[in-house]
Structure 1
């Protein structure tokens, strides 16, 4: 009986030890570049690849929809300008026709006063000689013929410009209708994107709170052949808090450069390197730290998802995560640091450091 009790106690102790070991953060092994760096990470669970991929896809669709909408708007503006130009040309033709009709009226009245409006037989009786009569009749007919041709040309031009104006206006209305449809498509994509973004962020917050970060998601990477050796950490951004700035959110001074970007925006490795840390929890939320061949380290914090594993080598411009607002963050942004060690407190100003590598923010 005593042996059985000791056996139960031993089993319980082993189970507790196993639980403690399972809950402890894992330690990465040293990399193959001789740096011997290691980093502590929280326990990881499988990531929801579908949601991260959906956000990335919706970002692309939103960009395409915006381009189509802007192209349609520019085309509508051009058609509207053409319709207005046709209106001006038509107005000018109408004024010319009015002037021509006025001239025709004056000539007709002058002919009538001079007797040219009399019947042909009376003009023969009153003419001094037949030649004078024929020359007068020929000149009158030529004037009438020229005026008639001018009036016909003007009327044809008016009809042509009116048709052109109607055609341009119809094209403009079609473009406006198409642009309204594109605007609705764009808004629908934006709504879906916003919903997916906050769902992604909600999952990230839950993972950070539970201390069990989601594993790396594998997204379709950009073409590496078109990437420069050094790039900005995000493609489209607005700079917000800079290195060394003060504020209530930081214990002393801001240790990096913030990039204002929406949730789920692809975060890129600024240069070639190796992942020495992937973790979640704490002030930085979900973060990735890279070691570069020149010995510097770069940190990417407040992420909503990561797309790399610890110890993995990365290429310049490779997507290593998706931006978010985890940890000590008041809104979606990327916190980017350049350090001389992998630890907080060894940071240098990222802006001149990137500029030295040919990246102007």
Structure 2
């Protein structure tokens, strides 16, 4: 019977490899070249990117549920493997018992034919004793053989269960990997098509107007929120380096192209522009007099002069303008113009929206 012990090392590696797929698709950590002083895209493409993000999120939930099931399946398969080991040891012991019984039967002439025992017996008592020994020995042998047969049948069934358990596990993991991979390939292609349209608008220096996106109803805790929901922080306020003429004037969020960008708070859109170092950008004036800027976008979802609410989608992240890779450049300013920026990290924290 085939052993599956080697698979105990293969499956965890497979799960680890799959676990890499749980991350948000194709993240690219980037910094911008903000010596900083957008172009629109068709609704179909922007909406497609948002829809694909939602599909990835649903696929991720399915993956997580499937991964938990796979872990349970793997634990079940391991329990079966332990059971098989115990059953193999029991069968070995039963066979040793059979050997001992057979040897004892031979030494006591328990295997002598009944006719020979009748002829050679010197008395009825000796004949009766021989028959009792014979009967007891045969019973012990038959019991041992039957017990061994049942154990071997049980072992064969459990080995079949172990094989089926591993096959189910491998099939589930393969299906989950293919599911996420297919969606992510489509998403990556749509992202860069969206970015290409944004680059064309920035090069022309004109924004074609807002691309309205259907946003899910979601409660936002508090009057303020972070500009993107999931992110990695990259270049921070005040950073130095060759990318900026002086110091970095905002906080960068490394997110994939097409990530929905949210208004940090209630306010009015003071500016939507395409062109220059910031690429496609939105500036929002808030009720407390501060301004927030969202730069290097791939699409905008609001028009200049429009009112926005906390958490409302105002665009999609990208890498337009003077940028080395996909990210959102976020600034907090005292005026709508560059040069009046303050550190956005403590500013958000003071308003109940700390960055993680």
Matches within 5 A, 1:64-83: 64-69=58-63, 71-72=65-66, 75-76=69-70, 78-83=72-77
Q: Kindly state the Cα deviation for residue 204 of structure 1 after the two structures are TM-superposed.
A: 1.6
Matches within 5 A, 1:92-171: 92-123=86-117, 125-126=121-122, 129=125, 132-133=129-130, 135-171=132-168
Change (3 A) 1:71 1:321: same
Q: Deviations over 1:246-269 (max 9, x none)?
A: 122222111110011111110011
Shifted more, 105-114 versus 351-360: the winner is 351-360
Q: What is the TM-score normalised by the length of structure 1?
A: 0.78
Measured in 2, the distance between the counterparts of 1:158 and 1:188 equals 41
Q: Kindly state the Cα deviation for residue 97 of structure 1 after the two structures are TM-superposed.
A: 0.9
Change (3 A) 1:323 1:128: same
Higher RCO by CA contacts (8 Å cutoff, separation 6 or greater): 2
Q: Kindly state the Cα deviation for residue 113 of structure 1 after the two structures are TM-superposed.
A: 0.7
Q: Deviations over 1:80-124 (max 9, x none)?
A: 554454334223312221221111111111121112222234445
For structure 1, the 5+ residue unaligned runs are 1-43
Q: Kindly state the Cα deviation for residue 71 of structure 1 after the two structures are TM-superposed.
A: 4.7
Q: What is the TM-score normalised by the length of structure 2?
A: 0.79
**Counterpart residue number, 2:308:** 314
Matches within 5 A, 1:26-37: none
Change (3 A) 1:120 1:226: farther
Contact 1:72 1:178 in 2 (8 A): no
| Larger Cα-atom Rg | 1
Change (3 A) 1:348 1:128: farther
Measured in 2, the distance between the counterparts of 1:236 and 1:46 equals 23
Secondary structure at 2:310's aligned position in 1?
coil
Matches within 5 A, 1:249-328: 249-328=243-322
The reply on whether 1:233 has 2:230 as its aligned counterpart is no
Measured in 2, the distance between the counterparts of 1:205 and 1:174 equals 42
The reply on whether 1:247 has 2:244 as its aligned counterpart is no
For structure 2, the 5+ residue unaligned runs are 1-37
Change (3 A) 1:331 1:223: same
Q: Kindly state the Cα deviation for residue 189 of structure 1 after the two structures are TM-superposed.
A: 3.0
Shifted more, 110-119 versus 74-83: the winner is 74-83
Q: Kindly state the Cα deviation for residue 60 of structure 1 after the two structures are TM-superposed.
A: 1.9
C-alpha RMSD over aligned residues: 2.6
Measured in 2, the distance between the counterparts of 1:74 and 1:268 equals 32
Q: Deviations over 1:139-162 (max 9, x none)?
A: 334423431342133123212212
